[in-house]
Amino acid sequence: MNYYAITTKFSLFTLHFSPKFITFAPMNPQKKRLLGLTPTELKALVGSLGMPAFTAKQVAQWLYEKHVKSIDEMTNLSKRNRELLSAEYEVGTMEPIDCQRSKDGTIKYLFPVCCCDTAANETGFFVETVFIPDHDRATLCVSCQVGCKMNCLFCQTGKQGWQGNLTAADILNQIYALPEVDQLTNIVFMGQGEPMDNLDAVLRVTEIMTADWGWQWSPKRITVSSVGVRNKLKRFLDESPCHVAISMHSPLHEQRLQLMPAEKAMPLEETIALLKEYDFTHQRRCSFEYICFGGLNDTPLYGREIVRLLEGLECRVNLIRFHEIPNVDLPASDEKRMEALRDYLTAHGITTTIRASRGQDIFAACGLLSTAHQSHQTH
């Protein structure tokens, strides 16, 4: 749900933005990654290597509390156990290979990823991750797939098609290896890909981020977006306490179908009916993302339809500016229309904000992220 990032305009290995990231040190392909493993899995792992069970807890602490990048740093493990572990495993972090800095402070990183399944058994993939500092908040927008299958009309990631699912380690690495990791206050799954289409990995990451044995973040700091995917969205709502953000973009079935083919598999009415079965009146929040297209979905008719659809659901709406992309004939809305829609929804009891565009000068604003070029230039 690529609302923060927009098409990458730099080419890989033309690394003129930040010499710091010129070196790309890929993981050792002979070794497996510890990153992303749960305590249960770590326990089985250390057991298979003949180590005592409590070693699993120590390793989990080094990974998820102390954020070490090498097994050598796990100093309360004996030298022999570190060597045993290192023979087959490594922490598995990968540094970003490039970054672009916006004049507004937004930073877009390019991360290498391994992927667990890919469209054509290919390797050499990358995703973009956007760091957005804003007064007392610092949000990270992470990606969960290379490309996307959902093919939303307004989205450059959709144009890229789907190339692969990120592993939990790939997703976690975008946080772990972020230079600004200590500043983070929030994480949104709104980069490349549909989170429900890679749900096992997404749930594993949200668990690691919020578990007592993990990063111990409050679920209130994490928002996972979705177009609405049958069965998967329900599973997410049942299994994760994190916030959910639904991509609405139109309250009308026919128009939403044109904008978002996913409407066919799970119509918005059905998504909202499902959401109404859950409690969003306390800790957990439900929001709707709404890109405004001038004259198309920002008139009073749409305000009325949104109010009708959302009646009885505790939620908020975020209005988003559309950033035009090549070969897509959709107009951007203007400030006046967006403010009128916001005021209408607010007057009818729906908390509505207009999201500020960030990182437009580095193509990291709301809309369109694509790493198609990078992923294939590296073969």
146 binds ligand SF4 (CB under 6 A): no
Strands 89-90 and 145-147: unpaired
1 binds ligand SF4 (CB under 6 A): yes
158 binds ligand SF4 (CB under 6 A): yes
163 binds ligand SF4 (CB under 6 A): no
155 binds ligand SF4 (CB under 6 A): yes
Beta bridge partners of 141: 130, 188
Minimum CB distance to ligand SF4, residue 194 (Å): 4
Determine whether 366 is an active site residue: yes
Minimum CB distance to ligand SF4, residue 291 (Å): 9
Residue type, position 345, single letter: L
Q: Which stretch binds ligand SF4 (CB under 6 A): 32-40, 106-114, 152-160, 336-344?
A: 152-160
7 binds ligand SF4 (CB under 6 A): no
Nearer to ligand SF4, 74 or 146 (CB): 146
366 binds ligand SF4 (CB under 6 A): no
Nearer to ligand SF4, 98 or 194 (CB): 194
Binding mask 173-202 for ligand SF4 (x = CB under 6 A): -------------------xxx--------
Q: Which of 56, 59, 110, 152 binds ligand SF4 (CB under 6 A)?
A: 152
Nearer to ligand SF4, 6 or 148 (CB): 148
CA atoms within 13 A of residue 11's CA, in its CB half-sphere: 4
CA atoms within 13 A of residue 205's CA, in its CB half-sphere: 27
Q: Which stretch binds ligand SF4 (CB under 6 A): 63-71, 144-152, 304-312, 348-356?
A: 144-152
Q: Which residues contact 351 (CB under 8 A, 6 or more apart)?
A: 316, 317
Minimum CB distance to ligand SF4, residue 262 (Å): 7
Minimum CB distance to ligand SF4, residue 54 (Å): 42
Which one of 90, 128, 194, 289 is the catalytic residue?
Answer: 128
Nearer to ligand SF4, 2 or 58 (CB): 2
Residue count, binding to ligand SF4 (CB under 6 A): 13
State how far the alpha carbon of 231 is from the alpha carbons of 26, 168, 225, 287, in Å: 36, 20, 15, 19
Minimum CB distance to ligand SF4, residue 129 (Å): 14
Nearer to ligand SF4, 155 or 202 (CB): 155
Nearer to ligand SF4, 46 or 245 (CB): 245
Minimum CB distance to ligand SF4, residue 255 (Å): 15
Burial grade of 110 (CB within 10 A; 0-12, 13-18, 19 or more): buried
Torsion over CA: 123, 195, 250, 342 (sign):
negative
Minimum CB distance to ligand SF4, residue 127 (Å): 11
Site for ligand SF4 in 224-283 (CB under 6 A): 227
Q: Which stretch binds ligand SF4 (CB under 6 A): 143-151, 173-181, 230-238, 314-322?
A: 143-151
Q: Which stretch binds ligand SF4 (CB under 6 A): 65-73, 86-94, 153-161, 336-344?
A: 153-161
Minimum CB distance to ligand SF4, residue 206 (Å): 18
Binding site for ligand SF4 (CB under 6 A): 1-2, 148, 150-152, 155, 157-158, 192-194, 227
The residues that are catalytic are 128, 366
